Structure 1
């Protein structure tokens, strides 16, 4: 890979890490918001859920923006929007500022996440989709480790626990903004004027995109439990208010995500998806036991198995899109997958937060666990159907491609 391409690849990996750091930055602070501002579990998860719900709208309207204006320009707009959101958190005097800040974070990540992922696949090539998916997954895990571990340390041991972690993140955002600005301009020469028209997915890609979206959704549903409720459940089980200890517990799951992503990059998807299902069953079985027995050991088992399931499902979804989609449709198809995943994540966070407010965390876990495991099972079945060996009589791909401009699915 030429040096310029290598720099572009790793700059975009940094954008992915930053996106997930931004997403999870408030995780170690949620218990403080709850105690200092007297927030209910529903309102706490609402702060989390605003981000993915706004992000869904952004993906719906601007999902294929980078296919027209270029990956670099779209990522720049995204990072700038994230900076506004983080600044609002850093200055927030009350929960209203947090809700508005989360909206800007959703806008920023929505504008940058798909283009950064697409740029990595563009640079590395479709033949390296598995490696790119693994590095993308590991990058997101690094961002979440910084959010939970560094954030927990700053909340616990540094001054201004409600705000300092966001000032540190803001500094990193500015550094990444400079790196993105130095990327080569990549607006397509034949690109016309961009107009909002929803996400367009060619008919021949429907199966692949749907399968990828289910796999990404399953991983993000698991992430919703870890990121929106994990800190509060961990605080309850450890009987401590030490944000660094709680952040370290959450970070364990993120470390597992990164390690599994890199270790499994050569594992065939047909083998990885069943392992993800088994890990999901074990993770939520452990969470149910942790809630019912008030056991920290079972909660640690949950974070480990949840990390395994998340990693394999997320990397699998990206690998499917990288393998099956051409470059000129890549941002749009990635946006379609992320759109569904973030919609599921936001809905799951709000639902579980509502149930936790009404009946406690154990009640929320008892309801959420079977639903999320069922979604992982659907991802497994869809993956097996898509990836199973085909009969030799299937139509030639050229004949399918000729219908691309006439048979498309539009999400608007």
Structure 2
């Protein structure tokens, strides 16, 4: 019926907005880390720990509540996620110590963990028939595009608007309130089945080789996004000599935005070829990053971010597709969750290692070393794919 299709279209639009709005808040602090460091007198290691704490909230939400929306419905889980995002921004507004910043980041991670799988499912389920085959792509754009929008919006506000440590969070509170309203007015999309319980993690024997190769690519790609989200402002200010928060936000956001575009454009590619291509592009991006840090080049940093974002987007999207394709249908939830756990660990632990390395060797050397390490990981993944291809094995 035309009326039903129109209502589903509205629901899909509202859920897509809510998804993007919540994701925006998780990356908004990136251009502000330098200001917090000045205000609270801490160094890059503490900055990376504050950034990485977010992963604790994401993983807890994914593992503890990953199946809940199938049982109690999408809307309750999304509403709790929106409330967690609002609470995170409120805590950021009151932050006067590192401990408070850590609490804010955990709450932000909880909101993202609650939204990521649930909102993806809700957008796909709400899509009208004409949009059904594009709904997954819409959810991807909302997710990654929102992550990319956070640093860009905040960087502009921090640089050119008053109240650099406050205004961005007031904006996000308004966005998250609207997201909660949007979730409240759409119909429930889940059929509600199953039992409450934590999300299991396991990888069946028949998919372990494919999982290992795809996870290696995901680890390399997410390590890069973590680096740019946490350390990009420090690279600009301390290596390149550019102390502009808007440029820092643009640099961090470019990784996410190019990743989203790459995932959409690379969808028709064969998974094995796509993962190999993504890894090769990641190697190129890390080579450019190392050279740009050595020569203190702003242009090089931007090119490195764009190149790495393309490589990460292609390898991650098709890595997940390959894992799902080789997994029995009744085990896909736990295997996909395992894949995301690897990705989020990669988002946090390597960047803390960057903070430790900076204390020992300095920011420039630590950044070059990080780039080389990621390039080695991506090369190992590419080599594994080529070896399997010669044997006639598929990824």
TM range (shorter): 0.7 to 0.9
Mapped contact 2:222–2:312 kept (Cα < 8 A):
yes
Q: Would the alpha carbon gap of residues 96 and 189 (structure 1) be closer, same or farther in structure 2, given more than 3 Å must change? A: closer
| 5+ residue gaps, structure 2 | none
| 5+ residue gaps, structure 1 | 392-412
Q: CA deviation at 1:39?
A: 1.4
Q: Would the alpha carbon gap of residues 328 and 21 (structure 1) be closer, same or farther in structure 2, given more than 3 Å must change? A: farther
Mapped contact 2:199–2:334 kept (Cα < 8 A):
no
46, 49, 56: which one pairs with 1:46? Answer: 49
1:144 partner SS: helix
2:42 partner SS: coil
Report what 1:35 is aligned to.
Answer: 38
State how far apart, in whole Å, the 2-side matches of 1:284 and 1:59 are.
30
Q: Are residues 1:23 and 2:26 paired?
A: yes
State how far apart, in whole Å, the 1-side matches of 2:314 and 2:15 are.
21
Report what 2:284 is aligned to.
Answer: 282
Report what 2:161 is aligned to.
Answer: 158
Q: CA deviation at 1:338?
A: 1.7
Q: CA deviation at 1:71?
A: 2.9
State how far apart, in whole Å, the 2-side matches of 1:51 and 1:355 are.
21
Report what 1:337 is aligned to.
Answer: 339
Normalization by structure 2: what TM-score?
A: 0.85
Q: CA deviation at 1:152?
A: 0.8
Q: Would the alpha carbon gap of residues 197 and 173 (structure 1) be closer, same or farther in structure 2, given more than 3 Å must change? A: closer
Mapped contact 1:14–1:139 kept (Cα < 8 A):
yes
Report what 1:86 is aligned to.
Answer: 89
Report what 1:67 is aligned to.
Answer: 70
Mapped contact 1:77–1:112 kept (Cα < 8 A):
no
Residues 328-356 of structure 1: CA deviation (Å, up to 9, x unaligned)? 76554443222221112111121111111
Aligned pairs for 1:9-408 (under 5 A) are 9-121=12-124, 134-192=137-195, 194-196=196-198, 198-199=200-201, 213-320=215-322, 323=325, 331-380=333-382
Mapped contact 1:276–1:310 kept (Cα < 8 A):
yes
CA RMSD, Structure 1 to Structure 2 (Å): 3.3
1:93 partner SS: coil
State how far apart, in whole Å, the 2-side matches of 1:129 and 1:277 are.
30
Q: Would the alpha carbon gap of residues 40 and 208 (structure 1) be closer, same or farther in structure 2, given more than 3 Å must change? A: same
2:187 partner SS: coil
Mapped contact 1:133–1:318 kept (Cα < 8 A):
no
Mapped contact 1:210–1:337 kept (Cα < 8 A):
no
Higher relative contact order (CA 8 A, sep 6+): 1
Normalization by structure 1: what TM-score?
A: 0.82
Q: How many residues align?
A: 388
State how far apart, in whole Å, the 2-side matches of 1:64 and 1:388 are.
39
State how far apart, in whole Å, the 2-side matches of 1:376 and 1:9 are.
36
